[in-house]
Amino acid sequence: MRSGTSMFKAIRRGYTLIEVLIVVAILGLAGALLVPYLSGRGDFDTQAAVRQLIADISFAQSDALANQGFRRVVFFEDGTGWALVRMDEADLASPFDAATADYVLDPLADSAQRGAYVCDLTKSNRYSSVRVKRVDLDSGKRCMTFDELGGTVGAGGLPGTGGKIRLSSPDATYQLDVSAVTGKIRVTRLAAETP
């Protein structure tokens, strides 16, 4: 009888499969939540800002098609963001004026923006470290314009020549290459920020 008791105690000392699975699940969950904060979170924020920009460019193109009008994505000089505005064909060569611009309506905009479709990276906790570092569209312009057919156009209504947009944070830099005429975008992660 004594040997049976010691055998029972030896088996009882181990963990059950359920206990091991619960511990593994908790460690996995903790790792999934902590890894983004331990590694460069700015990379994820920069990726999110790139996705936001691509979505806004696609929206401007779709809005131009749907409403049969000109839509422009304007990048702010200080690199803090961009805005979507309506344009008339006669105003394609006019510079951007924030005070008089006819902004596309953003139903998700807060009351301070008065419905204006503006992405201000500095006002977002998520994108606060991200900046638009370089914009070179249609031979040196800081905007891209879509016509009523959804193609890119430059001043005078000539077909757009494409260009590059670079978004950067301390942890990552991404370049968006914009194709001529179609506005198709290809994203590349750059190894390090270059001028």
Asked if the structure places residue 15 within a domain, the reply is: no
- Is 139 in contact with 162 (CB distance < 8 Å)? no
**Of 161, 164, 183, which is closest to residue 175 (Cα–Cα)?**
164
Q: Confidence band (pLDDT; 50, 70, 90) for 86?
A: very high
Looking at every residue in the chain, the average pLDDT score rounds to: 84
Domain count, the chain: 1
Supply the range of the domain harboring residue 106. Answer: 48-190
Structure tokens at 149: 């057919």
User: 124 — phi, psi (to 5°)?
Assistant: -105, 130
Asked if the structure places residue 142 within a domain, the reply is: yes
Asked if the structure places residue 9 within a domain, the reply is: no
Q: Confidence band (pLDDT; 50, 70, 90) for 139?
A: confident
β-strand 131-137 against 102-103: which pairing, if any?
A: unpaired
Q: Indicate which CATH number applies to the domain containing 71.
A: 3.55.40.10
- Give the integer Cα–Cα distance in Å for 167 and 175: 6
Model confidence pLDDT, tens digit, residues 13-65: 677 888 888 989 898 888 777 765 655 565 788 899 999 999 999 999 999 99
SS3 68: coil
Asked if the structure places residue 31 within a domain, the reply is: no
Asked if the structure places residue 1 within a domain, the reply is: no
178 Cα distance to chain centroid: 15
**Of 122, 169, 143, which is closest to residue 56 (Cα–Cα)?**
143
* Stated pTM of the model: 0.76
